[in-house]
Structure 1
Amino acid sequence: MKKSEKTIAYYHLPGLFEFYELYSIFLPLFREHREYFYEWCDIGSIYGAPADCIWGGGRAGFGDGSPEDVLALMQEYGISARLTFSNSLLKPEHLADKRCNELCRLFDTSSNGIIIHSELLLEYLKNNYPNLYYVSSTTKVITDFGQFINETDRDDFRYVVPDFRLNKEFDKLSAMSQQQKDKVEFLCNECCRYGCNDRKSCYEAVSRKNLGEDCPEHYCTAPGADSGYRFSKAMTNPGFISADDIKNVYLPMGFSNFKIEGRGLGSAIVLEFLLYYMTKPEYQIHVREAVYLDNMLDLF
């Protein structure tokens, strides 16, 4: 094995609060039947935010999982919990929000992190919750490779999630130092149109909504947007990273962190992500049955 090659891909999965019930079934299965899953992958973190968080950003969450229950589940399985606090439009008066501060106090350990956009919030959290680590959010829409390199060189961030349109810049990616590569977390399954110019506006609309502002709804005008997210469509995106790509291209290049989006989707489609990216084909039916036959889980 070459010095830069990685042997394990760490997935960062969606729906910490949104899909608590799904993970309460899936995580025991992942531990007790490790033979069902690819030996070259593991779970790096699960991310999300409750629906009532004004610091929230990215895709608007709808999570109603109890923070105490969520944290206990992550601690039981030794998985990092990440709060998605990527609102890009925060002002000083928003920093005192009781709900978000309570969540930070609860999750304030070195095992847990914050996905973040706002520099204002970053400085506040560093001063008040010193144990958390930070992930530079893809909501920054970093598409310039030089800017992306500068972001990976910042000591503030343990990981940086570039815009998905940098996923296939292989010549530039391969030239990165190993220290930089270790901080890159690729967004694998984005369905957004590759040439979209409204991505930042879309995220800002979500930020305004989470702040409770009275603002017009943002509607995507890309062809086929009215059909919503389709995994089959995401697979045709030029920036899509497949399971085979991870194993045969990115791990050999020295990259090991991969983000799966899907907080705003239903449990059924998130289960398909878990099957596709983590589960050996011959065992997918076993995982499906374990999940679908659990009467406590609403898959709609």
Structure 2
Amino acid sequence: MSINFHLPDFCGNYKMNLAFADALKERPELFYDGVKIASSYGCFPPAAWNGGRAAVGAVRREFIDFIIKEYNSRGIPIRYTFTNPLVTEKHLSDPFCNMITKAAENGLNEIIVNVPVLEEYIRKTYPQYPLISSTVKQIEDRDRLLSELEKDFKLVVLDYNWNNRFDELEALPHKDKIELLVNSYCTPHCRRRKKHYEFLGERQFELNRQVFGLESDMMKPIPDTQFPCPNTDMNFYDTLAFETHISPRAIYEKYVPMGFENFKIEGRLMHPVNILESYLYYLVKPEHRDRLRVDMLRALLAKKR
């Protein structure tokens, strides 16, 4: 059985993601047995449909094609995070979002969805995409989850509050269809989580208007709005104390024997050191982490000659 890991930020973190993919292919003995990089999720900025984190900036079509090619040539799907909870029918015609969706529609790449109106539009307009149900839905009710697992999704990303509730996890059907978020930076049962997703959704609309809006919109500065959350500045190792944390040992000794195969590493817009440490922690055998850490830092920080 492959142990499928889904890595954050195929766009901003592409150098590290591809470096790990190449290391896994060339030096598999350094990694845990069965490890596979099964996708990398994220979005090209400033896509209005993006959710979960705000994608800042803008990219050229040449870069979009480059990213898709680099991952796909390694057999790795990119997975669009089209999970903005504020998307309505009026947003479906967004030119940039439709362009990037069409550019990657080849049967390999995937899309994470949240709101029904966008899900239905993608199913109809871009039928080659496998769809994944987003953790942004925050499904904690068992009956709702069972219903979600029966729908036409490739995977359902479980709300992180299910983690480590082993009796309940054991009783779930379709474990091969469930993806577990192993290192959530969110406080367990955070009461502000829904509001935070909505704030980020509106923030994404603002960023999109700044780039693609009317000339009058482009002249206006983006409001310096914030949603204070101390967890965004956490050290990766601080998250190990959360009750929702899933360790590499638990993956092998508990989750995989139960039938779970898919594991998501959080990290979009996190500090690169946090991302590097999370990859080493989950993918690499302990005795090889220090050496590979140095190799990765040398490669990522190397000056072009």
With the length of structure 2 as denominator, give the TM-score of the two structures: 0.88
The answer to whether the aligner puts 1:105 opposite 2:99 as a matched pair is: no
Q: How far is 1:230 from its partner?
A: 2.1
- The equivalent of 1:118 in structure 2 is 115
CA pair 63-230 structure 1, distance change in 2 beyond 3 A: farther
Structure 1 stretches lacking a partner, 5+ long: 1-6
Q: How does 1:1-300 map to 2 (within 5 A)?
A: 7-62=1-56, 66-155=63-152, 157-177=153-173, 180-212=174-206, 216-220=225-229, 225=230, 228-294=233-299
Distance 1:51 1:297 in 2: 26
2:295, 2:275 → 1: CA distance?
15
Structure 1 or 2: larger helix share? 2
| Contact in 2 for aligned 1:57/1:206 (Cα 8 Å) | yes
Query: Which amino acid is 1:280 matched to?
Result: K
The answer to whether the 8 Å contact 1:194/1:239 transfers is: yes
Q: Is the 1:86–1:115 contact (alpha carbons within 8 Å) kept by the matching residues of 2? A: yes
Deviation per residue, 1:247-277 (Å, 9 max, x gap): 0000000111111110111222111111000
> Does the Cα contact within 8 Å between 1:291 and 1:297 map onto a contact in 2?
no
**How far did 1:9 drift?**
1.4
- Secondary structure of residue in 2 paired with 1:252: helix
Deviation for aligned residue 1:229: 2.4
Equivalenced residue count is 285
Counterpart residue identity of residue 296, structure 2: V
SS in 2 for 1:42: strand
Tell me the TM-score normalized by structure 1: 0.89
SS at match of 1:209: helix
Q: 1:268 to 1:205 in 2, by over 3 A?
A: same
Range with bigger deviation, 119-128 or 279-288: 279-288
Residue aligned with 1:264, SS:
coil
Q: Deviations over 1:65-100 (max 9, x none)?
A: 721111111122111110111101112121111111
Aligned partners of 2:144 and 2:7: how far apart in 1? 26
Distance 1:148 1:109 in 2: 29
Helix, strand or coil at the partner of 2:80 = strand
Shift in alpha-carbon separation, 1:297–1:247, aligned structure 2, 3 A = farther
Distance in 1 between the 2:272 and 2:145 partners? 32
Residues 33 and 164 (structure 1 numbering): CA distance in 2 closer, same or farther, change over 3 Å? same
User: What do you get for the CA RMSD once the two structures are aligned?
Assistant: 2.0
| Alpha-carbon separation, structure 1, partners of 2:165 and 2:177 | 16
Contact 2:185/2:231 (<8 A) preserved: no
For the residue of structure 2 that corresponds to 1:251, the secondary structure is helix
Q: Percent identity?
A: 33
Rate the CA distance shift 1:243–1:63 in 2: closer, same or farther, 3 A.
farther
Which 5+ residue runs of structure 2 have no aligned equivalent?
Answer: 210-222
Q: Do the aligned residues in 1 keep the contact of 2:132 with 2:154 (CA within 8 Å)?
A: yes
